[in-house]
Amino acid sequence: MNTTAKKIAELTRGEEEVMQILWRLGDAVVNDIIAQMSEPRPKYTTVATFLKILENKGFVGHTPEGKSHRYHPEVSKEQYARGVMSTMLSSYFGGSLAQMVSFFSQHEQMSVSEMDEILEIMRNAKQ
Amino acid sequence: MNTTAKKIAELTRGEEEVMQILWRLGDAVVNDIIAQMSEPRPKYTTVATFLKILENKGFVGHTPEGKSHRYHPEVSKEQYARGVMSTMLSSYFGGSLAQMVSFFSQHEQMSVSEMDEILEIMRNAKQ
DNA sequence: TCCAAACTATTAAAATTTTAGTAGAAATAT
DNA sequence: ATATTTCTACTAAAATTTTAATAGTTTGGA
């Protein structure tokens, strides 16, 4: 067992939207995040509040920059994805990745090149 | 373009919990759903309210049974999964199924037998 | 037929999430 | 050095989601 494992909280939809942008940008000041949002853009303080909440939840940290803060993720997209994807997998596919892949192949959402990529991945993983 | 395609609404967390049970049971009266929930169980009217909301959203229907209603899904788990999974896929894996499979394989969440199943699925899909 | 039980519909309170205003602090320009 | 701008922290209003009480209806049993 991994003794350093931490329970990662769930994000609300609004919080996740901000995190997605921060994951994409790597780090950002409030205005950078607003710039990435689509109309109608939220007010400056709205985004600042989300960042504060995310900081309290341990999802982001900041370093001072001039009179402002530059924010960065403390929880990686991969870490968070791990949790949400395993929830999805168990909720919708009985916990079976094979069932999920099958689902996508049935819904014609899988191209031949994508299949080839997956084959390649599994060839590598299998050794 | 598919002219019969309908935009399927998003579910809140509570609504989804009820839908998951209904998908599992196939059909159910209010008490059947409560029985599937863990402590502290919600009150009867709470669950009835969720069913009403889900009915308004077009997710469930009902047939009269005695003085009560027997509810059933109108949107299948597969239909709903299609939407949420494609959102997940694009949010977390750049829309690439291969990337998602790769993610799981890297996180050691994929057994050899699961890989074999996936290979089999793709063999079939490829023809 | 009438009563009690069990149900749905309606309403609204409570909790959470989202949005943003305001106060005060800090940097910058004049 | 002071005024202006820009920022964070704090607070709270607005919106949504969750929870459940109450009113009223239906049905099955006495």
- What does the DSSP assignment read for A55-116? HHTTSEEEEEETTEEEEEESS-HHHHHHHHHHHHHHHHHTT-HHHHHHHHHHTT---HHHHH
Query: How far apart are the CA of B23 and the nearest CA of chain A, in angstroms?
Result: 10
Beta bridge partners of A71: A28, A62
- Of A14 and A121, the structure prediction assigns the larger pLDDT to A14
Beta strands B60-65 and A60-65, pairing class: unpaired
pTM of the entire predicted model: 0.90
Query: Quick check: B78 and A103 in contact, CB under 8 A?
Result: yes
Residue whose pair of structure tokens reads 């590598």 in the numeric block: A124
Q: Select from A84, A97, A112 the Cβ nearest to the Cβ of B110.
A: A97
End-to-end CA distance of chain A: 24
The Cα–Cα gap between A24 and A32 comes to 11
Helix, strand or coil for residue A17? helix
The Cα–Cα gap between A84 and A71 comes to 23
Residue A6 confidence (pLDDT) = 67
Residue whose pair of structure tokens reads 């599992």 in the numeric block: B24
Contact B100 A88 (CB under 8 A): no
Helix, strand or coil for residue B63? strand
Structural element, H or E, at residue B73: strand B68-73
**Mean residue pLDDT across chain A:** 91
Whether the predicted pLDDT of B20 surpasses 90: yes
Whether the predicted pLDDT of B1 surpasses 60: no
Beta bridge partners of B70: B63
Q: What is the mean pLDDT of residues B88-106?
A: 92
- Beta carbon of B57 within 7 Å of strand D? no
Q: Chains A and B: how many Cβ contacts under 8 Å?
A: 86
Residue A7 confidence (pLDDT) = 79
Identify the residues numbered 71 to 110 in chain B whose C-beta atom is closer than 7 Å to any atom of strand C. none
